[in-house]
Amino acid sequence: MKISKIDIRILTDLYKSVDGLIPYIFFKRYRYSPSVVYKSTSKFIKKGFIKEEDEKLFLTREGRKFLEKNNFTFSKNKFDKIPKEFKQTKLEINKPYLPNVQKLQKEILILQHKDDG
């Protein structure tokens, strides 16, 4: 399934909402026309990711799992998308750091330049 930036915005807004959202909110926030909102939400309603109750749109449990699995951004902080396996504990300021030499590329480890000869 092809997912556009519009789809991601709608899904992430629904993810953040506590009490669901009415479709007019997307026009107010992003100036999305009703037809754009309808096209975007209807494909996710068919998949079971969004449900509609009392003229409000809600993200289902399956929809939440889908968003979390695909690691969509839920905030404006670009560092929220970094996978957990790449995150490390922060180093203190001015604390020395020694890299693991075995994990470095061979090109970095070459100590002599060709010009030094």
Each residue's pLDDT tens digit, 3-55 = 888 999 999 999 999 899 999 999 999 999 999 999 999 999 999 999 999 99
How far, in Å, CA of 71 to CA of 50, rounded?
18
In a domain, 27, yes or no: yes
Best CA proximity match to 24, nearest among 58, 56, 63, 59: 56
* pLDDT tens by residue, 63-88: 999 988 887 755 566 676 677 777 78
Q: 60 and 51 in contact (C-beta within 8 Å)?
A: yes
In a domain, 47, yes or no: yes
- What CATH number is given to the structural domain containing 38? 1.10.10.10
Contact criterion met (CB below 8 Å) for 64 and 15: yes
Q: Average the pLDDT over 106-117 and give the result.
A: 59
| pLDDT value of residue 15 | 92
Domain that holds residue 68: 5-75
Using alpha carbons only, give the angle 73, 41, 52 rounded to the nearest 5 degrees: 110
Q: For residue 100, what pLDDT is reported?
A: 78
What band does 116 get if pLDDT is binned at 50, 70 and 90?
low
Would residue 98 count as lying in a domain? Answer: no
Domain count, the chain: 1
